[in-house]
């Protein structure tokens, strides 16, 4: 099975609508990256129903560690920096998107994270 | 300015992670539809920073009225039906994605909706 994981900072004071918007940024950007570097994974994921998993971290440090690890493993990914016009500090890092890629490749990096 | 609007049902008992996942489904599907029917809108929207707005409705009926209206206006869109493996009834309609398209075209349909 293929999946896309979205990792969101839960320590920022974002409302659920703001969080959803950050998740969408991360999702689309990681999707576009995957289209470039692993189009067959995108195709399988689409055919399987586009599984998405939304996970949380509690600091910028944790978010960046995840982003570092997915890059080390060469996974398609995105790192979202919010313009910060509403609710949070301008330039805050808010979310990471990973995949679509094989579930086991993604969970190797995300296995210690909890669902949002 | 161009935007993408995500309309989510707030009457279902979805947690914020579940809501974010539904928003991502709606976002990617509407994006893919826009790529087909209005690729120039997608290009402008990407260059402008991919503005996304997340709005709420409080019933399936309201969600379907929005989906009807965006179709009447010929806007790129998506309607998300959740497999319902977690938290909600299988087959529930959860979200509508609209655009990317010009803000005024989208707000013609969404002007009475509140931010999630």
What is the interface size between A and B, counted as CB pairs within 8 Å? 72
**Residue span of the structural domain in which A13 resides:** 2-115
B59-112 pLDDT, tens digit each? 999 999 999 999 999 999 999 998 877 788 888 999 999 999 999 999 999 999
Q: Do the Cβ atoms of A116 and B25 come within 8 Å?
A: no
B24, burial (CB in 10 Å: exposed 0-12, middle 13-18, buried 19+): buried
Overall pTM > 0.90: yes
Looking at the 3D structure of chain B, how many domains does it have? 1
- Closest Cα in chain B to A85: B51
Of the listed ranges A42-46, A90-94, B61-65, the one predicted with least confidence: A90-94
CATH assignment of the domain containing B22: 3.40.1490.10
Tokens of A26: 């991360």
Taking the CA of residue B72 and the nearest CA in chain A, the distance in Å comes to: 25
């Amino acid at each position: 099975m293929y999946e896309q994981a979205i990792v969101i900072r839960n320590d920022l004071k974002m409302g659920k609508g703001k969080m959803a918007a950050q998740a969408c940024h991360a999702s689309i950007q990681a999707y576009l990256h995957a289209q470039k570097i692993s189009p067959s994974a995108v195709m399988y994921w689409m055919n399987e129903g586009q599984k998405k998993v939304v996970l949380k971290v509690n600091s910028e440090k944790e978010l960046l560690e995840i982003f570092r690890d997915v890059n080390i493993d060469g996974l398609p990914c995105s790192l979202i920096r919010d313009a910060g016009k509403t609710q949070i500090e301008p330039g805050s890092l808010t979310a990471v998107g990973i995949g679509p890629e094989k579930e086991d490749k993604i969970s190797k990096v995300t296995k210690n994270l909890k669902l949002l």
